[in-house]
Amino acid sequence: MSTDHKKVKILCVDDEPFILSSLSRILRSDYEIILAESGPKALDLLKSNADVAVAIVDQRMPDMSGVELLEKLTQEYPMIIKIVLTGYTDLGALIDSVNKGEIFRYVQKPWDTGILKSAIGSAVKRYNDNAQSVLLRNSLAETQEKLKKVIDELQFLKSVQSKTDGSS
């Protein structure tokens, strides 16, 4: 059965293959899943998948921490809604994730599948709401520009008419 409905893309970043496999298995029926085993790999994958809606990022990874990746995502892909997934309760790292990475939710390993799916569903809704808001702002800006042109034309016509009326 073919469908025109395009699945929302979810980026999962974790250095543990088992975690990536589990996330993929849990989410693939509802979302298009993109897997990355490191921050640098995630950034590389985003170059060809800029329409990712949600990133689920492990806090502790070699090469690039979750906080570092989240900061880069915030700077380079501000529309992506970010979820931190971690088995560690390092309060400092969590605070950094919130403050620097602008995370949407924090989910602890091992996760409860219902809580994880709910967090992702809320994140997708936030992404869609943000995208709709951008579309509406762009449409409003276009309408304002058209209105400005109409006003300018009316003012021009009014000035031409007053010159014509004044010379008769």
pTM of the prediction?
0.78
In the chain, which residue ranges form alpha helices assigned H by DSSP?
17-27, 39-46, 66-76, 91-101, 113-167
Third-level CATH fold of 9-131: Rossmann fold (3.40.50)
Q: Over its length of 168 residues, how does the chain's per-residue pLDDT go in tens digits? A: 334 457 999 999 999 999 999 999 999 999 999 999 999 999 999 999 989 999 999 988 888 988 899 999 999 999 999 999 887 666 666 666 666 657 888 888 889 999 999 999 999 999 999 889 888 888 888 888 888 888 888 888 888 777 777 665
Query: Where exactly are the structural domains of the chain?
Result: 9-131
Distance CA 12, CA 58 (A): 8
pLDDT of the residue at 166: 66
Distance CA 69, CA 72 (A): 5
pLDDT of the residue at 5: 57
pLDDT of the residue at 91: 63
pLDDT of the residue at 55: 97
pLDDT of the residue at 52: 96
List residues bridging with 108 in a β-sheet: 86
Question: Measured in Å, how far apart are the chain's first and last C-alpha atoms?
Answer: 74
pLDDT of the residue at 50: 82
